[in-house]
Amino acid sequence: MNNHFFKLILLLAFHIGNGQVDLTTELTKEQSDLIFEKVKGFPNKAQISIAIISNGKAKYYGAKRANDSILTIENHKSVFEIGSITKVFTATLLADFVIEGKIELDDNINDFIDFTIKDNVPISFKQLATHTSGLPRLPESLSSPSIDLTNPYKDYNEEKLKLDLSEKLVMSEKPGTKSEYSNLGVGLLGCVLGEIDNSTYGDLVQTKIFDRHQMSNSTTIRSKVMDKLVLGINENGQEVSNWDMSILMGAGGILSTTEDLTKFAIAHFDDNNKDLGLTRTPFHKATDNFSTGLAWGIITTESEAIWYWHNGGTGGYTSSMIIDTEEENGVIILSNISALGTMANNVMSLCPELMKTLE
């Protein structure tokens, strides 16, 4: 497809109002160029859904690769796996529990579980949410090179989780000393919060977040959104399996849309949402310009802006989200590009590049 022609199409960007497409709303040339450079190498059947929030107002853009053409489409209501962006929602549940007085951030999870962590290592809720628990990235049972990456978490159940934590656990670091990303840690956090509330992770995130912020197309139950689901693909454009996160749902099991994630992002601009504000508190300083909040990565840019960031990825999807609450700006990108290949970098790098165009 002619590069110049595609960029002209991108300029006819989707601004959604009453279900109509307003062709007077434009991407800037810089934004159009950035998107084109990332999308042009995508395989057939690839989709990307983008929300750009400027001064609290959102615009939506969609593109799809169809054979040798790249088409603009309206996909802000289409559902994608959001992968590890789920962790921000798990941390929001934690913040809600703290504000309601059910627990404190520095409480040890050991007091809320019915088994003993190996060597009685004390781990706090805050350490789980800031990736400073010392737990490894993955549990021992999922660390084998022979694990089937088409749906690796599917058969990982509560029994295996308890076995890994009570008998097989090898700590990466002493809790509280270093930030080291852990799917196991945040997945465990989601489990424990469900146990405390005598509920399930899915019910908690539905009632305390999705319902509260009118996120009507967000869920942990894939069957509810099959009619809106964009199928994940690999780098050759072949459809791949969705991931079932099972007991570690809190680490990456949410499905959502750019429209719903925009509602969640804009809710962060309201200081009355105390749970969301607590998640953005910098609890662990890793470098001069990077800290961790409750799940959020907190970046200080060269222009001294503060960005709250998280990426996500599964076998068929890659996502990224950044918000700037001071300027009320943000970029959300969902795609059906596998996180297991090199094309995932196109999605993840596009998010900060588009953010810079809003400064």
- CA 43 to chain CA centroid, nearest Å: 23
H or E element in which residue 80 lies: strand 80-81
pLDDT tens figures, 92-127: 999 999 999 999 999 999 999 999 999 999 999 999
Tokens standing for 48? Answer: 């990307």
Mean pLDDT of the 179-200 span:
97
The more confident residue out of 128 and 23 is: 128
Contacts of 252 (CB under 8 A, 6+ apart): 81, 82, 83, 84, 86, 87, 183, 187, 243, 245, 312, 314
- CA 99 to chain CA centroid, nearest Å: 23
Contacts of 122 (CB under 8 A, 6+ apart): 108, 110, 175
The amino acid occupying position 289 is N
pLDDT at residue 10, rounded to an integer: 47
237: left (phi over 0), alpha (psi -120 to 50) or beta: left
What is the pLDDT of the chain when averaged over all its residues?
Answer: 92
- List, in order of start, the domains of the chain with CATH numbers: 83-228+244-308 (3.40.710.10)
Contacts of 221 (CB under 8 A, 6+ apart): 202
Tokens standing for 161? Answer: 């989780």
For residue 234, report the phi and psi dihedrals to the nearest 5 degrees: -95, -175
Q: CA 357 to CA 34: how far, in whole Å? A: 10
Number of H helices, E strands in the chain: 11, 13
Contacts of 212 (CB under 8 A, 6+ apart): none
H or E element in which residue 69 lies: strand 69-72
Q: Is the pLDDT of residue 1 over 50?
A: no
pTM (2 d.p.): 0.93
pLDDT at residue 24, rounded to an integer: 30
pLDDT at residue 84, rounded to an integer: 98
Q: CA 283 to CA 279: how far, in whole Å? A: 9
pLDDT tens figures, 257-314: 999 999 999 999 999 999 999 999 999 999 999 999 999 999 999 999 999 999 999 9
pLDDT tens figures, 122-151: 999 999 999 999 999 999 999 888 888 899
